[in-house]
A and B are shown apart, each in its own frame.
Chain A
Amino acid sequence: GPKVLQIPSHQIIDMGQMVTLNCDPVSNHLYFYWYKQILGQQMEFLVNFYNGKVMEKSKLFKDQFSVERPDGSYFTLKIQPTALEDSAVYFCASSLPGDYAEQFFGPGTRLTVL
Chain B
Amino acid sequence: QQKVQQSPESLIVPEGGMASLNCTSSDRNVDYFWWYRQHSGKSPKMLMSIFSNGEKEEGRFTVHLNKASLHTSLHIRDSQPSDSALYLCAALGPNYNVLYFGSGTKLTVEP
Contacts and interface: CB of A to CB of B under 8 A. Distances in A.
Interface of A: 1, 3-4, 31, 33, 35, 41-45, 48, 50, 55-56, 58-59, 91, 95, 99-108
Secondary structure class of chain B's binding surface, majority of residues: loop
A48 B92 CA distance: 13
B103 A41 contact: yes
B46 interface: yes
Given A56-B98, A100-B92, A102-B46, 18 more contacts: A31-B97, A41-B103, A42-B4, A42-B102, A43-B88, A43-B101, A44-B1, A55-B95, A55-B96, A56-B96, A58-B1, A91-B44, A100-B49, A102-B34, A102-B49, A105-B36, A106-B43, A107-B42
Nearest to B2: A45
A45 B92 CA distance: 11
Contacts of A33: 97, 99
Contact of B101 (A4, A42, A50, A108): A42
A107 B100 CA distance: 18
A39 to B, nearest CB: 12
Contacts of B96: 31, 48, 50, 55-56
